[in-house]
């Protein structure tokens, strides 16, 4: 019988849960390392196995990936195998030595978190007094080295009003800017999540800025949880939403070898561990990632049930949906839904 073949094109690998910050919104509750994290040798073998599965881009994240002493060994191996890598950091310990290592490794992107337009806001979210100053310094080093740099801003009630300040800082710097919404997973309390009205305001801001400035002036995009199917606004992600990609073209790997469709999903979504079963066996298992691979329109829940976009959209971000409603395929932070309910379109 015909069986569709899936390829984990983009893999997010939490290389360590160790982190030098204790951010308010951290979805992984990072801080201490996980027990029994993958060794260097296991990490190198993992990269080889991913290459065989067809992976093209590995995102090294944490915790803070630069706290792992062998980060550059892993990155070099990825490059030697002909794959690309992106590294996501809080920017706290980026110095000239790390930048010179990055130059040699030629990353696809170096993504740095910037969560406030002022030191006060950024530092209170990141819970490190010098983090804003050091983040800005790190961004300057990356920019001077001409490395492809991205700023990721995770918005919630405490910082969304500072988006215009961050915009002014990033204008004409050639730095990509991704805005994403904080979800109530890990350490982040639901009480600080954006209201739907605030969420729509941010979407309006992104749409407006994308029209006001050229891509050269401000390469800005909303992330996977900023959508979907608006009748009023243009698309604010880079491309139209084609549904959650967890287990279809995306995979997440925890630092202890646990495998999920997406790193932001809670632990209940771990499909297996690469220490017990090969990653190819986990990925190709007929029962893995069934929430997306075996999705049917009837699986839609809540207000997504009767949506005409449901088949393609699959109810938005699986993490937002499950964390807020306890059910998959009914992400309530949907532009189309908000427009129907709050703007009566």
Could you list the residues that contact another protein (CB under 8 A)? 9-10, 12, 56-57, 59, 83-84, 86, 88, 108-109, 111, 148-150, 152, 160-161, 163-164, 174-176, 178, 197-198, 200-202, 204-205, 207-208, 211-212, 214-216, 219, 221, 223-224, 230-235, 237-242, 245, 248-250, 262, 342-343, 345
Q: 316's torsion region: left (phi>0), alpha (psi -120 to 50) or beta?
A: left
**Minimum distance, C-beta of residue 193 to another protein, in the bound complex (Å):** 15
Q: Is the peptide bond before 228 cis (omega within 30 degrees of 0)?
A: yes
**Minimum distance, C-beta of residue 208 to another protein, in the bound complex (Å):** 4
- Whichever of 21 and 152 has its CB closer to another protein, that residue is 152
Query: CA–CA separation, 51 vs 299, rounded Å?
Result: 33
Query: CA–CA separation, 73 vs 76, rounded Å?
Result: 5
**Minimum distance, C-beta of residue 220 to another protein, in the bound complex (Å):** 9
- Whichever of 145 and 305 has its CB closer to another protein, that residue is 145
**Minimum distance, C-beta of residue 8 to another protein, in the bound complex (Å):** 9
Instruction: Show the tokens assigned to 167.
Output: 């915009």
**Minimum distance, C-beta of residue 101 to another protein, in the bound complex (Å):** 18
- Whichever of 103 and 130 has its CB closer to another protein, that residue is 103
- Whichever of 171 and 215 has its CB closer to another protein, that residue is 215
- Whichever of 237 and 325 has its CB closer to another protein, that residue is 237
Q: How many CA atoms lie within 13 A of 186 on its CB side?
A: 20
**Minimum distance, C-beta of residue 246 to another protein, in the bound complex (Å):** 8
| Cα 269 to Cα 43, 46, 258, 293, 320, distances in angstroms | 22, 20, 10, 14, 14
| Parallel, antiparallel or unpaired: strands 258-260 and 250-253 | antiparallel
The residue behind tokens 């990825």 is 78
Nearest to 317, CA basis, from 226, 223, 237, 244: 244
- Whichever of 126 and 167 has its CB closer to another protein, that residue is 167
Query: CA–CA separation, 307 vs 297, rounded Å?
Result: 10
- Whichever of 7 and 36 has its CB closer to another protein, that residue is 7
**Minimum distance, C-beta of residue 53 to another protein, in the bound complex (Å):** 13
Q: 180's torsion region: left (phi>0), alpha (psi -120 to 50) or beta?
A: beta
Instruction: Show the tokens assigned to 226.
Output: 């900023």
- Whichever of 36 and 290 has its CB closer to another protein, that residue is 290
Beta strands in 123-269 (DSSP E): 149-155, 176-181, 220-222, 250-253, 258-260
Q: Residues 6 or more apart from 76 whose CB is under 8 A from it?
A: 105
**Minimum distance, C-beta of residue 177 to another protein, in the bound complex (Å):** 9
């Amino acid at each position: 019988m015909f069986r569709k073949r899936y390829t984990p094109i983009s893999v997010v690998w939490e290389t360590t849960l160790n982190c030098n910050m204790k951010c308010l919104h951290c979805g992984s509750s990072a801080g201490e390392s996980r027990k029994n994290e993958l060794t260097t040798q296991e990490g190198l073998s993992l990269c080889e196995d991913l290459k065989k599965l067809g992976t093209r881009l590995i995102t090294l994240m944490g915790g803070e990936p630069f706290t792992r002493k062998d980060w550059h060994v892993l990155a070099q191996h990825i490059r030697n195998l002909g794959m690309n890598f992106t590294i996501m950091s809080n920017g706290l310990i980026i110095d000239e030595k790390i930048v010179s290592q990055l130059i040699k490794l030629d990353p696809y992107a170096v993504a740095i978190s910037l969560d406030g337009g002022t030191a006060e806001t950024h530092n209170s979210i990141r819970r490190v007094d010098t983090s804003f100053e050091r983040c800005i310094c790190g961004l300057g080093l990356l920019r001077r080295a001409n490395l492809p740099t991205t700023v990721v801003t995770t918005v919630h009630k405490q910082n969304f009003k500072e988006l215009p300040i961050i915009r002014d800082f990033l204008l004409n710097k050639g730095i990509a800017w991704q805005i994403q919404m904080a979800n109530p997973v890990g350490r982040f309390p639901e009480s600080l999540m954006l209201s739907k009205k605030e969420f729509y305001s941010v979407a309006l801001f992104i749409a407006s800025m994308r029209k006001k400035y050229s891509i050269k002036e401000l390469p800005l995009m909303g992330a996977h949880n900023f959508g979907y199917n608006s009748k009023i606004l243009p698309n604010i992600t880079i491309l139209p939403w084609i549904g959650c990609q967890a287990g279809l073209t995306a995979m997440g790997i925890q630092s202890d070898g646990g495998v999920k469709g997406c790193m932001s999903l809670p632990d209940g979504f771990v499909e297996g561990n690469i220490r017990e079963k090969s990653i190819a066996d986990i990925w190709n298992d007929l029962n893995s990632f069934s929430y997306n691979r075996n999705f049917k329109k009837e699986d839609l829940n809540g207000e997504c049930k009767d949506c005409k976009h449901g088949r393609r959209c699959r109810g938005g971000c699986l993490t937002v949906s499950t964390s807020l409603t306890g059910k998959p395929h009914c992400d309530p932070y949907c532009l189309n839904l908000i427009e129907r309910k709050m703007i009566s379109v």
